[in-house]
Amino acid sequence: MAVDITIPSPGESITEVSLSGWLKDDGAYVQKDELLAEIESDKATLELRAPAAGALKIVTKKGDGIKVGTVVAAIDTSVGAVAPAGAPVSGAVAAAAAPSGGSHVGAVAAAAAPSGGTKVSGVAKKVAAEKGVDTAAIAGTGPSGRVMKDDVLGAVAPAGAHATGAAAAAAAASGAGVHKSARGVRREKMTKLRQKIAERLVHAQHTAAMLTTFNECDMTEVMRLRTEHKDAFEKRFGVGLGFMSFFVKAAVSALQKYPRVNAYIVGQGAEMEIEYHDYADIAVAVGTEKGLVVPVLRNSEALSFAGVESAIKDFAVRAKDGKLTVDEMTGGTFTISNGGVYGSLMSTPILNPPQSAILGMHAIKKRAVEDPKNPGQIALRPMMYLALSYDHRIIDGAEAVGFLVHIKDMIEKPERLLFA
């Protein structure tokens, strides 16, 4: 009996996906729930797994524009598992069959086996074993950095590429062997996710009256609290105490004081309206190899510090593995982006439509500032620049500045978060 494999729906508004490539050969025997391929939409990446055990019959090759619900392969459940040619035999037979100087066999096996946790497709393993290529030294272009067949073939030097020792010596003598700087050019198709990111960012700049205001905050007290309580916090809640939870709670307080920062503009022209939200669904920007994703902390006003940290940790792990769902990345009312983790000192973050504002955090640097406890005296303090980009159509400059000052006050005197 044949069991069809169809493209599942990543989300309500998504009708097309791209197939990254099959991880198993056509006709190969697969186990139930074995990973066969990854499909990518403009919002999320999903795994395509075998619905049953049997022989894989591939109908659709990799590519873009595959409709949701399309049959891309089938599983013939009447086919049982067959031991592959060259399967391991008994020790005595193996010893008799092993050629003298059997180290070559070991070298090929080592080349076929990924080291250091490198993900390698089944086809790539087979080709690597045949060509004697070490897959650990290859940068994969497949899903999650997986080494694919084309990556292995690209790492194999073409026949005749190397001159013999005598020819090389002659070339060196004539000056023909002088190395020149590489001037290679290559192109690769943008992923669905990257295309969507580009589209949304350009849309934000073309439709919103975007402006950015800056401030700085002294991180001394937050760093002191974190140092004093991080061990007890982690022991009790099983998650580390980071800076993001402080900023999320400070943002919740500021959003409640300045509700238009937490609002949308809906409609066009004379039909435009302001949609206010009584809740704070804060999106947290997470960088991945495939692009920026922004999972949402639903009802952040109801989350504890531990709740915020646990959710962010879970998002980061699943974002790296492409496990986030479309629902988890949809519907935020405000966004926080921490470019400081990459070393950014200052930037102007771009709005995440239809949101009206985004807060940018940056790297902490010690700078000479006036000591708040000793006016007129200079002290070296850990300082962070903050940036708030906002839509001037809905948020006035005074509101934006007041919002950022409120964040600053909460961070510099974090005990205020207890009463926010």
CATH number reported for the structural domain that contains residue 130 in this entry:
4.10.320.10
In a domain, 97, yes or no: no
pLDDT for the residue 265: 93
**pLDDT over 80 (residue 109):** no
Instruction: Give strand pairing partners of 364.
Output: 384
Virtual torsion, Cα 123, 126, 130, 136, nearest 10 deg: 90
**Token digits for 187?**
């192109």
DSSP string, 341-352: GGT-S---PPP-
Task: Pick the catalytic residue from 26, 33, 64, 396.
Answer: 396
Q: Dihedral sign, CA of 98, 103, 106, 112? A: negative
Residue entry with tokens 């009708």: 15
Decide: 37 and 5 in contact? Cβ < 8 Å.
Answer: no
Which tens digit of pLDDT belongs to each residue from 270-305? 888 999 999 999 999 888 777 778 899 999 999 999
Catalytic status, residue 392: yes
How long a stretch of residues is the chain? Answer: 420
Task: Pick the catalytic residue from 218, 392, 406, 409.
Answer: 392
In a domain, 92, yes or no: no
In total, how many domains does the chain have?
A: 3
Q: Let me know whether 391 and 348 are in one domain.
A: yes
- Residue 72's domain is classified under what CATH number? 2.40.50.100
Q: Let me know whether 128 and 248 are in one domain.
A: no
Range of the domain at 354: 192-418
**Token digits for 147?**
């080494």
In a domain, 89, yes or no: no
The mean pLDDT of 195-218, rounded to a whole number, is: 87
**pLDDT over 80 (residue 246):** yes
In a domain, 376, yes or no: yes
pTM reported for the whole predicted model: 0.63
Specify the range with the lowest mean pLDDT, choosing from 3-7, 39-43, 167-171: 167-171
The mean pLDDT of 149-163, rounded to a whole number, is: 61
**pLDDT over 70 (residue 89):** no
Catalytic status, residue 406: no
**Token digits for 206?**
């073309």
In a domain, 168, yes or no: no
Decide: 146 and 140 in contact? Cβ < 8 Å.
Answer: yes
Outline where DSSP puts E strands in 9-89: 16-19, 29-30, 35-40, 45-49, 54-58, 63-67, 71-76
